[in-house]
């Protein structure tokens, strides 16, 4: 089993708050790691479209960075299971992905690997 990814608590708080602010639309951002390999920042891409059923990244706006390791987005329902579109994005971009479901709190999210299998992500 692979080592779990780790994410800073402040990053998850920002994801929860951003998801609440975007509701009923989806929130979406990229995940960036620090030198220790901990997810420590969100990258908000200009031009990302947020809708009630999807969020579409403007990946052409992504900065050139090897520190971006995956994505995070919200679902405006309690369902954190990745859709077919989510799995397609996961396979094309990054190794770790987080989906946050309504009500956007510590108990309403799940990490996934690049093919959409649940993956442990530890909050530190």
List the catalytic residues. Answer: 26
Q: Which of 5, 86, 82 is nearest to 39 (CA)?
A: 5
Q: How far apart are CA 22 and CA 76, in angstroms?
A: 9
| DSSP calls for 6-27 | EE-HHHHHHHHHHHHHHTTSPP
Per the listing, tokens 């009500």 go with 103
């Amino acid at each position: 089993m692979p080592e779990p990814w780790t994410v800073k608590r402040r990053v998850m708080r920002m994801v929860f708050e951003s998801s609440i602010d975007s509701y009923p639309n989806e929130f979406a951002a990229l995940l960036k790691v620090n030198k220790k390999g901990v997810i420590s920042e969100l990258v908000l891409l200009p031009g990302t479209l947020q809708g009630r059923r999807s969020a579409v990244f403007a990946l052409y706006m992504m900065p050139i960075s090897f520190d971006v390791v995956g994505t995070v987005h919200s679902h405006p329902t309690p369902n954190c299971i990745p859709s077919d579109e989510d799995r397609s994005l996961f396979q094309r971009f990054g190794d770790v992905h987080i989906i946050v479901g309504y009500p956007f709190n510590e108990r309403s999210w799940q990490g996934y690997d690049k093919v959409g299998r649940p993956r442990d992500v530890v909050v530190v």
